Each structure stands twice: as C-alpha cells, then as structure tokens.
C-alpha cells in the first residue's frame, strides 16, 4: 500500500512538472516577421532584398525575432506567398507589391486576419496597410519636370519611359506631367513602359528612336531603365538627345553623371528604405504603436554639382 502511495505521489509530481513545461511552452513569445518581396529583376530590387534580409537578421540576432522571406516573379505568386504567411500565423507582414491593384486583395486578407501590414514602395489601392514606407514618388516626378524645364529653357520634345502599372509609376508620371505640361513649349511625344528593366527599356527605346526623328531629352522613372535607354541611343548613333535622367541612386548612374555623360541627373529613391519598414514591423510585432502611418523619403536631385556627396564606390547598387 505504501509503495502504491509513493508511486502515486511520484506520478502526481511528474504530471505537475509536465503541466508546468506545457504552460511554459505555450507562453513562448517568439515573434515572426513575414516579408513578401518581388524577385530581384534589377539592381535596385536586388539591393532592397539584401537590405531587408540584413535588417531582419539583426533583429533575429539581437532580439530573437524570427523572419520568413519570400520572393515572387508575378502578382499571382506573390498573392500565394501572402496566403502562406497568413497560414503560418506570422505576427506582422512586410510587403512590396509587384502591382498595386493586383495585390490589394491580398493586403485586405492580411488586414482581415488581424495581422499588421507594412507596405514598402508601391501602395495598395485600399486601406489595408498599417504603415506605408516609400520614397517621394510624386516629388521625383515634380523635381524631374522642373529640371527638364530649366535645362531645355521651356522648349523641348520629351520621351517618358515609365515603370509597370503601380502607384510608383502613376505618381512619378503625374508629378512629371504637372511640371512639364505647365510649359506650352514642352511636349511629351512618347510614353512607354520599360517595366523597371534595363533590357526592356533598351528594346522600347530602340522602337521609339525609329519612330521619332527629333527628341530633346528622355525622362526615365528608374536608373536601370536609364542605362538601357543610353545603350539604345548610343547604338543608334543619335546626337540630337541632350540628356537623360533616372531615379534611384545607382552607382553606375552616379559614375555617368560624374563623367559628364548623357545621364545628367537622377533623383534619390534608396532601396535602404526597406530597413525602416522592417524596423517598424518589429515594433508592430511586439505590440507597439507606430509613430506615424506614412514614412516618405525625400526625392533629392543629384547632378554633377552634388554627386560626390552621394557616390559610394563600394556600394553594391
């Protein structure tokens, strides 16, 4: 009888210990940030992906916050990535939408699941985002437009090379047109998408050069596209085009500006902005309230006069 009582006591203690362990496990407060980004189809996006992972790794090492990184080649794949992150019950999601309209329903799913959502770069077409972190896209367009008016003295035929359909493209184009079309002597004679791709922009510009015998300047919405445009102009042997501008802040474009080549200006849109998005995501995951629901990076104009202030020969972008 005594032996049975002792065994029962031991069993009771063991059950209590297991319960305590189980309770301790259920109280595990490890957090996870889900990060959904496009594939690295060009240098700017590659630099952004690298910056996002660097920042996420810092939080994992310093605070034990886990992260799941996904990359998608098209909007459908990215929407599936978002579904997977929701199913994994991550604590917050950072998303750079490949296309604004196509990914807006995915953003709404995140909101409906009660997961905070930090949008980077390209905005959604609904109010699903908890915080938006972006460059000043309209400011890039406005500053570029003012630059064109000044450089061309209010008279010129302009080509515009845009990005794919999203808020970035729309805002940059709207700002540029507001500034340029206020001058009666300025005319945008062609506007086509280069998909933020050097190769696609080369092809598009080749076609435009064949169709347009007289072009004064080219506004591109991305530094990578500017490089493709420059290649097309050089191959065509055109000497009527006075200058080309980009946007982003790529090292190759800074070097072109420094050398006094055809790319004469760019407007900052740093890929490092995603680090701020990951910082905010970490705060949200921990239950902290964001200081603001919109963070905008200034669209600084970079020309030969100030390029040395921004040029970094060791930059990966």
Distance CA 227, CA 220 (A): 9
DSSP lists the bridge partners of residue 119 as 95, 132
Q: What is the pLDDT of residue 9?
A: 52
Q: Side-chain half-sphere of 171: how many Cα atoms within 13 Å?
A: 17
Residue 292 CB-density burial (10 A; 0-12 exposed, 13-18 middle, 19+ buried): exposed
Residue 293 DSSP code: S
Distance CA 116, CA 159 (A): 40
Q: Side-chain half-sphere of 132: how many Cα atoms within 13 Å?
A: 20
Quote the mean pLDDT of the chain. Answer: 88
Confidence of residue 5 (pLDDT cuts 50, 70, 90): very low
- Mean per-residue pLDDT for 1-15? 46
- Mean per-residue pLDDT for 211-232? 95
Confidence of residue 165 (pLDDT cuts 50, 70, 90): confident
pLDDT over 90 for what percent of the chain? 70
Same fold, 32-135+271-298 and 137-247: yes
Q: What is the pLDDT of residue 110?
A: 96
Task: Select the CATH number that applies to the domain covering 137-247 from these four: 3.40.50.2300, 3.40.1280.10, 3.40.190.10, 3.30.70.20.
Answer: 3.40.50.2300
Angle ∠(139,111,164) on CA atoms, nearest 5: 40
pLDDT tens-digit map of 245-268: 999 888 899 999 999 999 999 998
In this predicted model, which residue has the larger pLDDT, 170 or 16? Answer: 170
pLDDT over 70 for what percent of the chain? 91
Inter-residue contact 239 to 262 (CB < 8 Å): no
3-state class (DSSP) for residue 171: helix
Residue of 295, 224, 294, 280 whose CA lies nearest to 35: 280
pLDDT tens-digit map of 149-162: 999 999 999 999 99
Angle ∠(118,253,299) on CA atoms, nearest 5: 40
Q: What is the pLDDT of residue 311?
A: 82
- CATH class as words, domain 32-135+271-298: alpha beta
Confidence of residue 29 (pLDDT cuts 50, 70, 90): low
Neighbours of 243 (CB within 10 A): 17
| 21 has a pLDDT exceeding 90 | no
DSSP lists the bridge partners of residue 157 as 187
Backbone φ and ψ for 31, nearest 5 degrees, come out as -115, 155
pLDDT tens-digit map of 195-221: 989 999 999 999 999 999 999 999 999
101 token code pair? 């309209």
Q: What is the pLDDT of residue 298?
A: 86
Complete edge-to-edge strand list for the sheet that includes strand 131-135: 66-72, 32-38, 92-95, 117-120, 131-135, 294-297
pLDDT tens-digit map of 169-196: 999 999 999 999 889 999 999 999 999 8
Q: Which residue ranges make up each domain of the chain?
A: 32-135+271-298, 137-247
Q: What is the pLDDT of residue 167?
A: 82
């Amino acid at each position: 009888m005594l032996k049975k009582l002792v065994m029962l006591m031991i069993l009771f203690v063991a059950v209590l210990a297991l319960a305590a362990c189980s309770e301790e496990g259920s109280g595990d407060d490890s957090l996870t940030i889900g990060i959904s980004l496009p594939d690295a189809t060009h240098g700017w996006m590659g630099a952004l992906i690298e910056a996002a992972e660097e920042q996420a790794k810092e939080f994992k090492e310093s605070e034990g916050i886990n992260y799941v990184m996904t990359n998608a080649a098209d909007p459908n794949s990215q929407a599936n990535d978002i579904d997977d992150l929701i199913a994994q019950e991550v604590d917050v999601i950072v998303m750079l939408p490949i296309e604004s309209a196509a990914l807006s329903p995915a953003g709404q799913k995140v909101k409906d699941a009660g997961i905070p959502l930090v949008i980077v770069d390209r905005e959604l077409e609904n109010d699903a985002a908890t915080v938006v972190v972006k460059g000043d896209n309209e400011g890039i367009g406005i500053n570029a437009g003012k630059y064109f008016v000044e450089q061309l003295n209010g008279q010129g035929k302009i080509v515009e090379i845009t990005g794919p359909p999203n808020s970035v493209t729309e805002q940059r184009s709207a700002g540029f047109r507001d500034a340029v079309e206020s001058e009666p002597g300025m005319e945008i004679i062609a506007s086509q998408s280069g998909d933020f791709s050097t190769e696609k922009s080369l092809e598009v510009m080749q076609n435009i050069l064949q169709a347009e015998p007289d072009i004064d300047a080219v506004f591109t919405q991305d530094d990578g596209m500017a490089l493709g445009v420059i290649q097309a102009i050089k191959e065509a042997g055109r000497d009527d085009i006075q200058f080309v501008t980009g946007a982003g802040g790529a090292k190759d474009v800074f070097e072109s500006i420094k050398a006094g080549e055809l790319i004469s200006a760019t407007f900052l849109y740093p890929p490092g902005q995603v680090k701020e998005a990951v910082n905010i995501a970490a705060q949200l995951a921990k239950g902290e309230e964001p200081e603001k629901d919109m963070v905008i990076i200034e669209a600084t104009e970079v020309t030969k006069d100030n390029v040395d202030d921004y040029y970094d020969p060791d930059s990966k972008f």
